[in-house]
Structure 1
Amino acid sequence: MKTMILAAALALAAFSAHAGEPIEGDWKTASGETAAIAPCGGSYCITLKTGKFSGKQIGKLAGTDGSYSGEITDPAEDKTYSGSGTVSGNALKMKGCVLKILCKSQTWTRL
């Protein structure tokens, strides 16, 4: 019985180590504003909580295991780009592209 419990605990620990990092939560953007990422309709919506555009939804990403893709909007220019996000610990690397050629990246920090 002890062996079975130990094996189950080791399997769970191994699975947890390979599980992707959650994207949900509050993040400090590269411009210093706070963005909330929360589930919405099978995806994750990104909404600004502070700053000039507070309350505006600026993106929608779908995915799992720490890797997400979808659309991201630059609120200052009101332009939407294809985007992606990759979570690694307390860092979220966001990337937006025009025609998959011209891309810009920034890193957000988990609050």
Structure 2
Amino acid sequence: MIRTFIFAATTSVLMATAALSAEPIVGNWKTASGETAAIASCGGGYCITLKTGKFAGKRIGSMSGNGDSYSGEITDPANDKTYSGSASIAGNSLKMKGCVLKVLCKSQTWTRL
């Protein structure tokens, strides 16, 4: 009985530690158009993949960084054009920004699910 309790307590602590060590960008996000995008660790950075909608399963970006600021590439799934991108996190909001030559930029705000 005591072994079971110790095992359960240890497992709970390990799971909580893993959750706290995850980057804030990792998780599922509701995009501006209403689809769900999943951001997960891949390679040395983070991959963004659409989970729902017309382009479900399509990888639409890759980012690197940590904390509240990330940079990388964003792909428009409708026309397959790739733009330099950045992301910043404030609470449960993720501001995604894609730019052409760092002059023409568009932004969207996603919400954590």
TM-score by length of 1: 0.81
Q: Paired residue for 1:32? A: 34
Q: Equivalents in 1 of 2:73, 2:80: separation in Å?
A: 12
Alignment of 1:52-91 (within 5 A): 52-91=54-93
Q: Equivalents in 1 of 2:55, 2:38: separation in Å?
A: 13
Q: Paired residue for 1:44? A: 46
CA deviation after TM superposition for structure 1 residue 65, in Å: 1.4
Any unmatched runs of 5+ in structure 2?
1-22
Instruction: Give the ranges of 4+ consecutive aligned residues of structure 1 lying more than 2 Å apart after TM superposition.
Output: none
Q: Paired residue for 1:102? A: 104
Deviations 1:6-54 (A, max 9, x none): xxxxxxxxxxxxxxx6100000000100000000001000000000100
Q: Equivalents in 1 of 2:67, 2:93: separation in Å?
A: 14
Any unmatched runs of 5+ in structure 1?
1-20
- What's the RMSD between the two structures over aligned residues? 0.8
**Count of matched residue positions in the alignment of Structure 1 and Structure 2:** 91
